Structures are given as structure tokens and as C-alpha cells.
Amino acid sequence: MFNRNKDRLYLAYYYRGAAGKGYHVALLLTPKNPSQEVSNCYQYHATNPPAPGGQVWKFQPLRVPPRTDKLLAALLLGKTEHDNKTIENLLLEQVPVVQGDPVWRCRHWCWNAIQTLIDHGIIAPLDGTPQEVWQRGIDFASTVVLDSNFFSSPVPTCDQHGVRIDSELVDPIAAVEES
């Protein structure tokens, strides 16, 4: 019998704020229907916190809640049977964080990370390159309307073709109030 409760791996699109252009992107590993009461999800991304002497990129794995106030949209990359430590170690060892390239961004790290996960059998191959799938997610995220109901609704989620699907990423406050 196969396991229908596999973890989900998303490409997550985060709001950068009024001054930021585009989206910050990261990988987000969640269980099926993640609990909002505990941080049972993992975010993997490349960040460039302010540093003396210029921009320094680093790989940053974090334990996070499935929904944050900056998570604007998500693209479901697929399901996986692999645990957080397996994925984190693979990404740490196999996906470079580039320094000294002024055009390198978090999206480049995500593209390489997605391809690494495919190459190692962590997720199934995509319908298109990681860059093409990322762009479909960007196109989907750009359709998200930030209205008064946004934070009380599930995170807008699409499949790898950019088609809206039911979301398992719900608002932590609403989920706690419902229980």
C-alpha cells in the first residue's frame, strides 16, 4: 500500500515589501495539511542579509509555520517521501551559493536546488525547466489580489503549470480559531 500522506514541496513566493521588486523565492517543505499550532514546515533559501563590505549570500534552512504574513503564493512542485534532514543536507552539500556575481539572486539558487532534488529522486521531474516552472509561479503570483480577506484565506496555490489548485496552506489565526 502506498503512502498518501507524503510531504509536499512548494516553491514559495514571498512579498518583498513596498520598496522591493519581484518576489523572494524559497522552497517550502510541509506535511499534508500542516498544523498551524507548531512550526512543522521547513523553508530552504538563499538570503543576503546586510553585511559590511557588500552582499554576502548564504544558504538558510529554517523551521517555519506553513503560513506567514509575507507568503503571497505557492507553487506545488510535488510530493516526497524524504525527510527534512535528507533534503537539507543534500541542498547544503550540492547547491552552491554564489558570491561576487551582482546579478545572482535567490531564484538562481532555487532553480539549482529544484534541479538537484529532481536529479537525486527527491521529487519527480517537472513539466519544463525549473526556470520555466518558476516563471509560471511568478505569473500566478502576479494575479493574487491582496484584499481584506487575503490573510484569512488559504495561501493561493498553483500546480507546476500555473493553474490554481486547492491549498493546504491555511491562515494560522483562522485555523486556531476554527479548532
2 assigned to some structural domain: no
The tens digit of pLDDT for each residue in 85-94 reads 999 999 999 9
49 assigned to some structural domain: yes
126 assigned to some structural domain: yes
User: Tell me, what's the pLDDT at 133?
Assistant: 98
Which residues are CB-neighbours of 177 under 8 A, at least 6 positions away?
A: none
d(CA 71, CA 73): 6
- Domain of 23 in residue numbering reads as 7-178
13 assigned to some structural domain: yes
User: Tell me, what's the pLDDT at 33?
Assistant: 82
The helix/strand/coil state of 157 is strand
pLDDT block averages, 10 residues each, the chain of length 179: 78 82 93 79 92 86 89 96 95 94 94 98 97 97 81 90 91 44
Is 101:107 a contact under the CB 8 Å cutoff?
no
Domain total in the chain: 1
Q: Where are the beta strands (DSSP E) in the chain?
A: 7-15, 23-30, 41-47, 58-64, 71-80, 157-158, 164-165
pTM: predicted TM-score of the whole model, two decimal places = 0.89
1 assigned to some structural domain: no
User: Tell me, what's the pLDDT at 177?
Assistant: 41
d(CA 73, CA 68): 11
